[in-house]
Chain A
Amino acid sequence: MIINHPLLGPRDAQEFTYLGDAALIDRPDWQGEDAQSRFYEYLYLRDNPAGTHRELWFHEGGDRSWLVVTRNTVSHEILQVELARDVARAKGRSK
């Protein structure tokens, strides 16, 4: 596969390490109500779609960016690649 890195252009997927669903960005509030239950759902449950999937890849053999890759899990077509940091900020994550 080829991942079109937003900063570096097309790179072979072999340069990257895969983590999983980009929902792993949405780490719950540790002091929130029912935190343990929310952390359980956050860490363990997956949509696991057959189709469009937003997922985290780390450019380990490259610039060490975490990327959010939007990829079709049936065709492997990649629709979008973003810096995970941008995605996290857009979701309201900060410090």
Chain B
Amino acid sequence: MRYSGLRVIKEALTGHKGWKPVWRDPEPQPHYDIVIIGGGGHGLAAAYYLAREFGQKKIAVVEKGWIGGGNVGRNTTIIRSNYLLDGNEPFYEFSLKLWEGLEQDFNYNAMVSQRGILNLIHTDAQRDAFTRRGNAMILNGADAELLSADQVRAEYPFLNFDNARFPIKGGLAQRRGGTVRHDAVAWGYARGADSRGVDIIQNCEVTGFRMENGRCLGVETSRGFIGAGKVGCAVAGSSGRLMAKAGMRLPIESHVLQAFVSEGLKPVMPGVITFGAGHFYCSQSDKGGLVFGGDIDGYNSYAQRGNLPTVEDVCASGIALIPALGRVRLLRMWGGLMDMSMDGSPIIDRTDIDGLYFNGGWCYGGFKATPASGFAFAHLLATDRPHKTATAYRFDRFRRGYMIDEKGVGAQPNLH
């Protein structure tokens, strides 16, 4: 069923009886060519691209709970490709380009809104670093713009320019960055995958891998064994738990990141703004809520909830940047499991076990990567070769010394 304005009108006039399930709820089959564990954004996108781009036929996505229930359903909805390092920038720019055509591609309005993202500059050293980054972006085919303080003020007049602890000296803007209605990404990919024959199996928890002679034959699940030619794991914050079932230790820790939304307000924020002096990022959803976040709490956690000090820090940063936020009410906060890697960059790679593939280590920046991650993972699963934009995302980079460390903080996941 194709979605369109005309279809909406037709259905409205006929009692909305024609709308079909956005995805089916099939029973698992005994064997698939490819089984993807994790019905989040990355897993669903991988299934979609496997079916759409790589001609794969028998694909299943198995999900412990309900699809889109992980970080794709709990994030601050930001998309951007403002990375510095060679290992990252081409990949994130590929992702941004996929975002730009995504809705027409999967026929679902995910509200990709290229409202622009602005990283504020507070010191001369930061300007130097952002200049280098902006140049790296442009050299990789992305867009970047260095703004003066006056240019920032023209766009965001309500920022704290006159009584700031850390004065605003400019900003690095990426106009093609922006926000996306996060849940719709999961649903759009699910719908696109389902319509191409992918079985999306919810409430199906993987309890183990079936191995034989160093080869993965499939997954044991709460709904029985599901055989698979290849198994791809895309479970973000649960990566440690899942891969332990395959006997693997990962260069990843699970941490909690809290994110926040305010009560609905009439439009105030034109785009996405990030405040490095305090670590605060914020945008306004189409519904009117300010969506914002800051640092992870900083300790290993699977609790999916955080504590007050981080909440207080984030709000203080927010008001330090935008003093008018004092009377805005925080409506809801939530905590997600972040697969924090050892250099802050992800892994999309084969494992040492034949037939078992891994996608994870997205830290708290995985949402923007969803399309490219899905595409690159699909490429790897279909061809056994890394996608050209993801060649650096290998397991062995730590052993060999090819870290992709954007922040330059080393092997301490809670600092990435």
Contact digits for A37-61, partner B, Cβ 8 Å, 1 yes 0 no? 1001101111111100101000000
Residue of B nearest to A1 (CB): B307
B90-98, B135-143, B245-253, B261-269: which one contacts chain A?
Answer: B245-253
Decide if A50 touches B251 in the complex (CB within 8 Å): no
Chain B residues in 8 Å Cβ range of A50: 240-241, 254, 302
Contact digits for B286-317, partner A, Cβ 8 Å, 1 yes 0 no? 00000000000011111100010100000000
A14 to B298, CA, bound (A): 11
Q: Min CB distance, B187 to chain A, in Å?
A: 28
How many residue pairs at the A-B interface have CB separations less than 8 Å?
70
Chain B residues in 8 Å Cβ range of A75: 303
Interface size class of B (residues with CB under 8 A): 20 to 34
Q: Is B414 an interface residue (CB 8 A)?
A: yes
Q: Is A7 an interface residue (CB 8 A)?
A: no
Q: Min CB distance, A3 to chain B, in Å?
A: 11
Interface size class of A (residues with CB under 8 A): 20 to 34
Decide if B253 touches A18 in the complex (CB within 8 Å): no
Decide if A20 touches B309 in the complex (CB within 8 Å): no
Decide if A48 touches B303 in the complex (CB within 8 Å): no
A41 to B302, CA, bound (A): 23
Decide if A73 touches B411 in the complex (CB within 8 Å): no
Q: Which of A13, A21, A45, A50 has the most CB of B within 10 A?
A: A50
Chain B residues in 8 Å Cβ range of A21: 253, 300
Residue of A nearest to B397 (CB): A44
Contact digits for A17-37, partner B, Cβ 8 Å, 1 yes 0 no? 011110000000000000001
Out of A13, A49, A76, name the residue touching B240 (CB < 8 Å).
A49
Decide if B412 touches A20 in the complex (CB within 8 Å): yes
With contacts A55-B300, A74-B302, A76-B301 taken as known, whether A19 is within 8 angstroms of B240 at the C-beta atoms is no
| B positions within 8 Å CB-CB of A | 240-241, 244, 249-254, 298-303, 307, 309, 342, 398-399, 411-414
